[in-house]
Amino acid sequence: MLDLSSYSAIIFDMDGTLIDSMGAHIQAWRMTCEHFSYPFDGDFMHGLGGVPTRQTVVLLNEKFNLQHSPDDVAAKKREFWLTLDDTPRIIEQTHQVLQHYHGKLKMGIGTGAERAHAVDLLNKTGLDQLVTTLVTASDVTHGKPHPETFLTVAQLLGVEPAKCVVFEDTLIGKEAATRAGMDCILVLDGQIQQEGQSLLLA
């Protein structure tokens, strides 16, 4: 098990870090891009994991010189996502960390998802019983890579940023954590990484 005893709090991203839902999100984005005539780039979209949906639309408009309404595209993406009827699955390695340190360190979730979506996923997976401090895209002015999401979690937990460690699955999320003054551990394809290597938990 990772030794996180030097920290006072752990902050988890949600999609792709605690819950394996990125595949469904990417599929929904593929459908959305086709609907609005954005060229679909899977690697580009995965790299935007953690960025709020409306901000993702702004980036797509900039990349492809289009002018679609962020609200309209976000609504359609959510519509497509709901049609997929995806069953969320807990990511085992981060769940082990969560369970091991539950009651020992303070814990929160900082996600780029909208609050209704985040609450739904946490309820379906039972994670709402383990982590009650939640900051979503609905709760902040600036989404990742801005540090506001993680700084807000730390504030709600009553912990200094430097005493928090973040688990994230994207470089944009890692940038947000770094800008917040927090250490960050990456989770790639469900595997916790340490210094670029997959870390198997004992």
Point out the residues that are catalytic. Answer: 13
Residues forming a β-bridge with 191: 188
Ordered alpha helix ranges (H), 48-140: 53-64, 70-83, 92-101, 115-125
Q: What is the largest CA-CA distance in the chain?
A: 50
Residue 101 φ/ψ, nearest 5 degrees: -100, 0
Residues 6+ apart with CB under 8 A from 38: 32, 60, 64, 66
How would you list the strands of the sheet with 164-168, edge to edge? Answer: 133-135, 106-110, 9-12, 164-168, 183-188, 191-194, 197-198
